[in-house]
Amino acid sequence: MTSPTRARRSRTRMSAAERREQLIVIARELFAERGFEGTSVEEIAARAGVSKPVVYEHFGGKEGAYAVVVDRETRALHGDIRTALTTPGAGPRELLERGAMALLTYIDRCPDGFRILARDSSITQPAGSFASILSDIAVQVEDLLAAQFRKAGQDPEFAGLYAQALVGLVAMTGQQWLENRTPDRHVVASHLVNLAWNGMAHLATEPTLLMDRVDERRRLREEADQAGSDASRSRRK
Assigned CATH class of 69-230: mainly alpha
pLDDT at 60 over 50: yes
pLDDT at 38 over 90: yes
Quote the pTM value: 0.79
Distance CA 26, CA 237 (A): 88
The string of pLDDT tens digits covering residues 210-231 is 999 999 999 999 999 888 887 7
The string of pLDDT tens digits covering residues 138-181 is 998 998 889 888 888 889 999 999 999 999 999 999 999 998 89
pLDDT at 12: 64
Domain ranges for the chain, please list them.
Answer: 1-60, 69-230
**Which percentage of the chain shows pLDDT scores above 90?**
65
For residue 52, the one-letter residue type is: K
Decide: residue 96, CB within 10 A, 0-12 exposed, 13-18 middle, 19+ buried: buried
Distance CA 25, CA 32 (A): 11
Distance CA 166, CA 196 (A): 7
The string of pLDDT tens digits covering residues 69-86 is 999 999 999 899 999 999
Confidence category of residue 11, pLDDT binned at 50, 70, 90: very low
Distance CA 166, CA 197 (A): 10
Domain 1-60: give its CATH code: 1.10.10.60
* Average predicted confidence (pLDDT) for the chain: 88
pLDDT at 9 over 50: no
pLDDT at 1 over 70: no
Same fold, 1-60 and 69-230: no
